[in-house]
Structure 1
Amino acid sequence: MYSKPEYEPLSRDQVFGLIETAAFATVVTAGPQGLAVSHLPFVLDRARGENGTLVSHLARANPHSALIAEGRETVAVFHGPHGYISSSWYPRNPVRDSAPTWNFAVVHCHGHPVPLDDHGTARHLLQLVDVLEKDRDDRWRMRELGPGGMERRIPHIIGFDLPIERLEAKFKMGQDERRYDTSGAIDALEQNDPVLAAMMKAHNAHRTD
């Protein structure tokens, strides 16, 4: 992934936090017929492996599942806050001569998937539901599927680990733009996209130019 030193994340925790907040990734695997692409939810195990391990599942009816079972090279792409940055937000100094752009945070997780057995897949599904239902009012629990509900579904699903062999992160937040232009964009975004504004503010707080 093309990047610049200015776009480095503030910490590894921030990268892991983006993955956990997004939870949903575009998954691309190379196969003999070209690239297979699916869109899957993930749980991140931060402690397993040098860069952590992702865990997910997909339908066995999905042709992509055969490539996952073979352990072919795969990348999972997670998107964080992003948005259009309009030059109309820049101050006239004396003119607004910086081009508009798009600011974004993204993480690429590269690795080779390792398929799970039925027990591992069931364990992953329970954990995924626990993570996604956490703090919900009247949260749903897997046991509500009823007797045999899980057992009927497991044969149609393949779970897999994706140990992260290479972790790439890019947080393009206006760090290479003129500071007064970036400040103007932050002020405008605080009204309609406070999450992106807060991330831009954090990544530019150290600047003295």
Structure 2
Amino acid sequence: MYQPPHFREERLDVQHALIRNHPLGLLISSGEDGLIANPIPFRLAKESHGLGTLQAHMARANPQWRALSKGAEALIVFQGADHYITPSWYETKRETGKVVPTWNYAIVQVRGRVRVIEDSQWIRAQVDRLTDGHESKRMIPWAVGDAPDDFITAQLKGIVGIEVEITAIDGKWKVSQNRGEPDRRGVAKGLADMATAEANAMVELVRTFGGLD
């Protein structure tokens, strides 16, 4: 992707944190009929090994896994916080008027070859780990074992597992770092004044990456 130097994020722990916090990745690959893209919830595993490994599963009825079973390379896009930025928040607007709107966002792109897994034990363990990772935040977590065994067995027959050993990872945090401090502070204040969940998520990034206290 297009990467101006001031937006490039190369710290692996920061990239991994975005994947963990925004695990729904857009899985993009090429098939006989052209490009295929599907949103898939991923789990980041083996973080201490190389660039990490992604694990997930998809419906057996989804034709994408058959193209991936041939050892195809895939691109997976994880979208973090994003928000429209009005030039009205810039101090530069009052000084010169030479400003335009933009869009702030944080994003991670991952590349790697996909291994398709049809082993039922692997798939069950993957579903358990993915579910437990999200249910653990709940006061009364739901577990896969709460459902009848025969029901779960039938459900597992309808999915296949996928594993991606990450061979390349790129992070881009476009969060107003290219603006002067007065403009960055104006963006942070404008977002904070909106007081929405989306704006609050972005204001934290603007403050952190913009060196604002």
**TM-score normalised to the size of structure 1?**
0.93
Residue 75 (structure 2) aligns with: 75
Structure 1 residues 136 and 186: alpha-carbon distance in aligned structure 2, compared to 1, 3 A threshold: same
- Distance change (3 Å), C-alpha of 1:198 and 1:38: same
Off by >6 Å, runs of 4+ in structure 1: none
Q: 8 Å contact 1:89–1:188 — kept in the other structure?
A: yes
* Contact 1:88 1:96 (C-alpha < 8 Å) held by counterparts: no
Which structure 1 segments of 5+ residues have no match?
Answer: none
2:61 match: secondary structure: coil
Deviation at 1:89?
Answer: 1.1
- CA 1:172–1:28: 2 relative to 1, 3 Å: same
Tell me whether 9-18 or 163-172 shows the greater mean CA deviation: 9-18
Instruction: For residue 2 of structure 1, report the CA deviation from its aligned partner.
Output: 0.6
Unaligned stretches of 5+ residues in structure 2 = none
The residue aligned with 2:8 is: 8
Alignment partner of 2:159 out of 157, 160, 174: 157
> What amino acid does structure 1 have at the position aligned with 2:161?
G
Contact 1:105 1:172 in 2 (8 A): yes
Q: Percent identity?
A: 26
**Aligned partners of 1:26 and 1:78 also within 8 Å:** yes
1:169 aligns with 2:179: no
Counterpart for residue 149 of structure 2: 147
Residue identity in the other structure for 1:179:
E
Q: Is the CA contact 1:90–1:96 (under 8 Å) kept in the aligned structure 2?
A: no
- CA distance in structure 1 between the aligned counterparts of 2:116 and 2:49, rounded to whole angstroms: 16
Corresponding residue pairs, total: 206
Aligned amino acid, residue 2 of structure 1:
Y
Q: CA RMSD in A?
A: 1.5
CA distance in 2, matches of 1:186, 1:46: 36
Q: CA deviation at 1:59?
A: 0.5
> Could you list the per-position Cα deviations for residues 144-187 of structure 1 after superposition, in whole angstroms to 9, with x for gaps in the alignment?
11122221112210011111111011000111123321220111
Alignment of 1:75-94 (within 5 A): 75-91=75-91, 92-94=93-95
Deviation of 1:27 after TM superposition, in Å, equals 0.7
* Residue aligning to 1:95: 96
Provide the C-alpha distance between the structure 1 equivalents of 2:4 and 2:46, rounded to a whole number of angstroms: 26
One-letter code of the match for 2:209? H
